[in-house]
Structure 1
Amino acid sequence: MPQAIRLHITTLPGRGQEQIDAYGRLAPLVRAERGCLQYDLHRFVGGPDRFVLTELRSSSEALAANAAGPTFRAGPARVIEVEAEPVAWADEGGRRPPARRLISPG
């Protein structure tokens, strides 16, 4: 059964373009992974530093393989370093893990 993840991302003020640039470098690598059906970043209208990242994998096994793979380990270093708030996500069933701060703002 396909597995979806939705990440809500808020960057530090004025750093939204860095998120877009990092996503642009990472997206082709993630999309080439076995079981990746979708990997899309959307910017909020009127919110230049707010995004939603939608990822869809073909199965829970494909999602687990991604989490153990090199793009997952490399991705946060390139993408998440500009986060100002914890990343909030939910799987297809609406389950959410406890939020954690990825970097300190300021």
Structure 2
Amino acid sequence: MSQPIRLHILITTQPGHAQEQIDAYENLAPIVRAEPGCLQYDLHRVVGDPDRFVLVELWESRDALAAHDATPHMVAADAASPAFRAGPAQVVELEADALA
């Protein structure tokens, strides 16, 4: 049985473009949450920095995450994000319950 995949995606928008990130997330969230294997998909703004966000994702398996990454809506979102992001998002994969 495969382990769930937990990701924290660190996002920085260009100054003054945070709302574009929020809008993109709000459009994607219901679609992504309906994907097979999606257990969590939540965007959080970093306290004290209106242009920084953390997207928390939890996927049932690596296969579910791979299928998500290949969906047309994610391909389109990835292509559109450079218009409002300061640079590429940093993807941090966390170990499953390593310290529990």
TM-score tier after normalising by the smaller chain length: 0.7 to 0.9
- Please give the secondary structure, in 2, of the residue aligned with 1:47: coil
- Corresponding residue number in structure 2 for 1:47: 49
Give 4+ residue runs of structure 1 displaced > 2 Å after superposition. 77-81
Say yes or no: does 1:56 pair with 2:66. Answer: no
- Please give the secondary structure, in 2, of the residue aligned with 1:21: helix
In structure 2, list runs of 5 or more residues that go unmatched: 96-100
TM alignment of 1:1-106, pairs within 5 A:
1-93=3-95
Alpha-carbon distance in 2 for matches of 1:41, 1:80: 18
Aligned residues: 93
Conserved 8 A contact 2:12-2:51 = yes
Q: Normalising by the residue count of structure 1, what TM-score does the alignment of the two structures yield?
A: 0.80
Deviation for aligned residue 1:83 = 0.8
Deviation for aligned residue 1:55 = 0.9
Deviation for aligned residue 1:5 = 1.5
In structure 1, list runs of 5 or more residues that go unmatched: 94-106
Q: Normalising by the residue count of structure 2, what TM-score does the alignment of the two structures yield?
A: 0.84
Conserved 8 A contact 1:3-1:91 = yes
